[in-house]
Structures are given as structure tokens and as C-alpha cells.
Chains A and B, each alone.
Chain A
Amino acid sequence: MDRMAIVGVAQTKYQRRNPASHAELSYEVTRDALEDAGMTIEDVDNTVTVCNDFWDGRTISSMAITEATGSHRVPTTNVEGDGTYGALMGLMRILSGHHRVTLIVAQSKASEGIPSVITNAMFDPLYERMLGLDAINSSALQMRQYMSKYGVTEEQCARVSVKNHRNARNNPYAHLPLDISVEDVLRSRVLADPIKMLDASPVSDGACAIVMTDESAAKKKGKKAVWIEGVGHCADAYHLGDRDLADSPALEAAARRAYSMAGVNDPMKDIDVAELYDAFSYMELMWMEGLGLCRQGEAGAMVDKGVTEMKGKLPVNPSGGVLSAHAVQVAGLARIAEAVLQLRGEAGARQIHGAKRALAHGIEGACGQGHCVFVLGK
């Protein structure tokens, strides 16, 4: 089978209240990703946008950014979940054999709406929605269940936040580069305990685009091709009470598929750098376990030992992760873009030396209901 490649990536700087419009953000990354790929819009034969009507404050929001994404009179499709699923859709378009070059653009301006009101609307209107459940307090339920089941501590979760905000100081796109201590995290304002302000990701505006091609187009055009070695995705139950929130069987299944496709036997050994969707500090620990980087409940101890630091055995989120920049839905595609930069050796001050294989991960739904895992290689 033909190999698929990512030949261009671009991100905006993430920030609160970016004065650019949705279309302007989309245009900026579309232009920059094409330039990065050494292509023009004429080389693109189809596009996938990633945006969501609630977050954009309009229905059929993807149709409002067609000009900005070069989608005018081009086959275009929208994914309203995480950006990793946009990349998955783009991959499938090329695998269909009918397209060769897909442009995938994700954009979000979370700061224009009220995130709690929007995320409250993901819950069943006849049941949990009436309680005022949102992304923060539902995650707090998960965090406590996880901590309680495995004896993970608030300090261990805080260490993730300290590491990622520190890594963000090396990332020019990051929204929140911070030099903070575990104490700072523990003492930050309680949002919904055990989640405190510094356990939570910021509300960021931003966009990300990638250009994906088949093998021959990549070899002809892409001087900097990074190969898609494996992908897997899987979803868990919708109602929170149906799940054991302390575990992520859907992520385990998604990872198994991606690893088997990529020939990854031992992820700790075979993967050099990972970019995970850490919307909250504890999530990085849970996703590490779901990805099989360690056994259930052991990620906290791994972080204590510095295994996931920049100089550790498997650096996790050298970009600063989602804790340092959270443009909703863009964030998963940004994980892919960051993984690509690592493999090209172009990640600047956040470069993991000699990275040959990278993992990028996205989530959608409450408490990581769905997961999508990409394994990329040089």
C-alpha cells in the first residue's frame, strides 16, 4: 500500500482574545502550511476543515470559512470533533484513491463564547445537562475517581502542569509559558476540586493546518515528508456513569490499532516523543497509562522520576501541551504539527534530539470519551 505523508504544517500563536476573525485565523495557517510544503493552493485537490457550530457561534460554520481555507469550488468536508479526526478524515480521502493532496485546517476562538455554557451542551439535555455539568467539573469527577482508584496524588498531577508550562517557554506558539512550582499549582484557585486553576488548560484562540499527500506526491513535492505509520481511534460510552472514569479502555484500543499498524511493540522503547491532549493535568497521566507507556496507576510515579521531562527517556509534551495552549479542537491537530516538527528536527528550543518516531493524540467528548492516536515516523 502507498504510504501517506505530512508535508507541511503551520500554527498561529495561541492567545486569549486574538483580534483576528475565524476566517483570518484560517487563512493565516492555510497560507503558511502551503508555504511550508512548498506548494500553492492549486496543488491541493481537497480540503477538510475542523470547526464546530457551538464554538463558532453559527450553524454550518465550516461553510463560512471556505474562501479562507482555499475550499472554494473544491471538494471540502468538515469534521466537528477534534483535529486529529480531521487528519484521519484527510487520510481516508487520500486512501480512497480519488485524492492525492489534502489540506486540513482547524480553527477555534473559544474566547468568543462562554466555554462552560458550550461544554454544558455536550451533556444529555434530559439528564446531566440540568446539573450544570461542564468540561471542568466533569473532569474533576474523573480526576478524583482516578486519584482514588490508584492512589495518585494532587502533587503528581501538579508536576505535569509544572513540566508542561516550563516546556512552553521553548515554544513560540504557546499561550501560557510559565515558571511555576508544584506549590503554586496546589495553591492556585480551586475551580472544582480537585481541579485548581493551574491544573486546567487556558481558553485559547488559534488555528493549525497540515498538508497531507500520497507517497508519490510527497516524493515529488515534499522536501520534508513525515510518514504516517499508524492510526487508531475508538470511543467509549456516552453517559459518564457507564464508564469507570479512572481507566481509558477506548484509548487502549485506539493505541493497540495504531501500534499494530506502525509495528510498535514496546511504546516506551519504540517512540521518541509524545504529544498528548492534556486538557487537565491529570489527563496526561491517564493517557500515558492508556497508551501503554506504563501500567495503570503508575504514570504519577513516572513523572516523579522525570521520565517525561525534556531530557527523560520519553519526553511528553515538549511543546507545553494543551495545558499551555488550548484552542479547542485545534489542539489535537497541533499535537500532530508538533510531532512533525520534532521529526523534521525543526522544533527549535523544544527539539528532542534525534527523534525518529513520534506519537500524537487527540480526544473528544467529556472526560476523553473518544481518542485518536497517530504514530508518525521519519
Chain B
Amino acid sequence: MAVTSEDLGNTGTLIYPSRIKLPYTWHAGKAGSRFYQGLRDNCRICGTKCPQCSWVYLPPRETCPRCYRIMDEWVEVSNVGTLLTFTVTRYAVPSIQPQEPPIAMGIVKLDGASSGLVHLLGGVDVSELRVGMRMQVVFREKRQGNYLDIEYFRPLKT
């Protein structure tokens, strides 16, 4: 193949565009599997509780990051909580984003949990979002046993 000066552009070097496709399957582990089963089958959000520091972790996992103790106690938490922080993404990266921008996301600490859950926010004019707002979970109608079974958090209707 002959390389012409047009191929080289103004840098004098070739640029080779390509794409990496990498299929992969992830095992959710014991804690993740139980979490997603509860979410899918009963709209229940359950975390694991540390026997030492009593923290309740979401997403649940088998080891307490703080105490390094095995956690085998499960605790159901509320589907209502407090908004710790939020952002609205304005740029589009279609291959990674679940919806078109603007995309509101936040971290919500559900009542009964010690850690926050990062998730999408919805059902609200984004200009009304405030740190400290009370939020509630909106479950997806057709749940598949993944993180998007929580469709989004919306402000709590009082």
C-alpha cells in the first residue's frame, strides 16, 4: 500500500483508527447475587452488616472494608433516604450512558444504611435538586436483577 502525502496529514504521520471489542461476563458473588435477587423479586434493598462496627453496606459485600470482618448478617434498609450530593451530566457519551443527557445522578444514603448508593435521579426538575433532600426509590417495572432495577431516586412525596 502506497502512503501518499494526503494520508500523512499535517503531522506527517499516519493515524490508524480501530476499535477494541471485549466481551466479558462478571460473577456477582454471593453478596451481589442475593442483593439483586431481593431487588428483582421483591423490590427489597438489603445490605450486609459488620459485626464489629455495625455499618450496613450498600451495595452489600462479604467483607467490611473498615474492619476486615466477614459480614453474614443481612439487613433490609428503607427505600427512603437523604441526598448527599448530586450532579447533572450535560455531555453525551452514548456508549456508556444509560440515557441521553442531561443525566441527573446523586448519592443517596437510605435510612438504615451506613453507606450511600450512587444512582440516577429523576421525577424532578433538576434545578430543584438540593443536598439534604429526602428521596425515595423508584423501582423499574420489569426488573432483571441488575443495578438498573432501581430506575432512579425521586424526591419523596409527602
Contact B131 A148 (CB under 8 A): yes
Pairwise interchain contact B96-A239, C-beta atoms closer than 8 A: no
Q: Tell me if B11 and A193 are in contact (CB < 8 A).
A: no
Whether the pair B87, A127 counts as a contact (CB closer than 8 A) is no
In the bound complex, residues from chain B placing their C-beta under 8 Å from that of A245 are: 85, 107
A131–B107 touching, CB < 8 Å: no
Residues of the A chain whose Cβ atoms lie less than 8 Å from the Cβ of B13: 19-21
User: With A and B bound together, what is the CA distance between A274 and B86 in angstroms?
Assistant: 31
Q: Does A324 contact B (CB under 8 A)?
A: no
Task: State which of A20, A126, A129, A192 has its C-beta within 8 Å of the C-beta of B87.
Answer: A192
Determine whether the beta carbon of A134 is less than 8 Å from that of B93.
yes
Query: Whole-angstrom distance between the alpha carbons of A336 and B146 in the complex?
Result: 43
Cβ-closest chain A residue relative to B59: A127
In contact, B88 and A193 (Cβ under 8 angstroms): yes
Residue-by-residue, is A128-151 near B (CB-CB < 8 Å gives 1, otherwise 0)? 111111101100111011001000
What is the bound-complex CA distance between A122 and B4, given in angstroms? 40
In the complex, which of the residues B20, B97, B98, B115 contacts A242, with contact meaning CB atoms closer than 8 Å? B115
B155 touches A (CB below 8 Å): no
The reply to whether B90 and A190 contact each other, CB–CB distance below 8 Å, is yes
Check if B118 sits within 8 Å of A241, measured CB to CB. Answer: yes
A132 partner, pick from B65, B84, B96, beta carbons under 8 A: B96
Contact A137 B105, beta carbon cutoff 8 Å: yes
B residues 69-98 touching A (CB-CB < 8 Å): 84-91, 93, 95-98
Assembled-state Cα–Cα distance A148/B131 (Å): 7
A140 to B116, CA, bound (A): 16
Cross-chain contact A131 with B120 (CB below 8 angstroms): yes
B32 lies within 8 A of chain A by Cβ: yes
Query: Complex: how many Å from CA A117 to CA B96?
Result: 6
Residues of A within 8 A of B59 (CB): 124, 126-127, 239
Which residues of B sit under 8 angstroms from A120, Cβ to Cβ?
93, 96
Q: Which residues of A are found within 8 Å of B118, using beta-carbon distances?
A: 127-128, 131, 133, 141, 239-241
Chain A min CB distance to B104 (Å): 10
Residues B146 and A126 in contact, CB atoms below 8 Å apart: yes
Q: How far is the CA of A140 from the CA of B126 in the complex (A)?
A: 15
Give bound CA distance, A129 to B103, whole Å.
14
Residues of A within 8 A of B96 (CB): 116-117, 120, 129, 132, 134
Q: Does A251 contact B (CB under 8 A)?
A: no
B147 touches A141 (CB 8 A): no
- For the complex formed, measure the closest distance between the CB of B150 and the CB atoms of chain A, giving whole angstroms: 10
A1 contacts partner chain B, Cβ-Cβ < 8 Å: no
Q: How many residues on chain B are close to A (CB under 8 Å)?
A: 42
Is the CB of A57 closer than 8 A to any CB of chain B? yes
Q: Does B147 contact A241, Cβ atoms closer than 8 Å?
A: no
Considering only residues 140-168 of chain A, those with a C-beta below 8 Å from chain B are 140-142, 144-145, 148
Please name the residue on chain B nearest to A112 by beta carbon.
B15
- Bitwise, B13-24 to A at CB < 8 A (1) or not (0) is 100001010001
Q: In the complex the two chains form, is A117's CB within 8 Å of B93's CB?
A: yes
Whether a CB of chain B sits under 8 angstroms from the CB of A41 is: no
Minimum CB–CB distance from A240 to chain B (whole Å) comes to 5
Point out the residues of chain B lying under 8 angstroms from A64, CB to CB. Answer: none
Alpha-carbon separation in the docked complex, A127 to B18 (Å): 28
A125 in contact (CB, < 8 A): yes
Check if A116 sits within 8 Å of B85, measured CB to CB: no
Residues of chain A contacted by B131 (CB below 8 angstroms): 144-145, 148
Contact B12–A130 (Cβ < 8 Å): no
Q: What is the bound-complex CA distance between A186 and B147, given in angstroms?
A: 35
Q: CA A141 – CA B117 in complex, angstroms?
A: 12
A141-B93 in contact given A19-B11, A128-B118 (Cβ < 8 Å): no
Known contacts A19-B12, A132-B96; A241/B87 CB under 8 A: no
Q: Please report which residues of chain B, range 1-41, place their CB below 8 angstroms from some CB of chain A when the two chains form the complex.
A: 11-13, 18, 20, 24, 26, 28, 32
Kindly state the separation between the CA atoms of A19 and B15 in the bound complex, as whole angstroms.
8
Do residues B26 and A240 form an inter-chain contact, with CB atoms below 8 A? no
A119 to chain B, nearest CB (A): 9
Asked if B67 is at the interface of the complex by the 8 Å CB criterion, the answer is: no
Q: Which of B26, B65, B91, B109 contacts A125 (CB 8 A)?
A: B26
* A261 interface residue (CB < 8 Å to B): no
Does B46 count as interface, using CB distance less than 8 angstroms? no
Query: A19-B12, A126-B32, A241-B118 given. 12 additional CB < 8 A pairs?
Result: A116-B91, A126-B146, A129-B96, A131-B120, A141-B87, A144-B86, A191-B89, A192-B89, A237-B66, A239-B115, A240-B107, A245-B107
- The 17 sampled A-B contact pairs (Cβ below 8 Å) are A19-B11, A19-B13, A117-B95, A120-B96, A128-B118, A130-B146, A131-B147, A132-B103, A137-B103, A140-B87, A144-B87, A189-B90, A191-B91, A193-B88, A237-B65, A241-B109, A241-B118
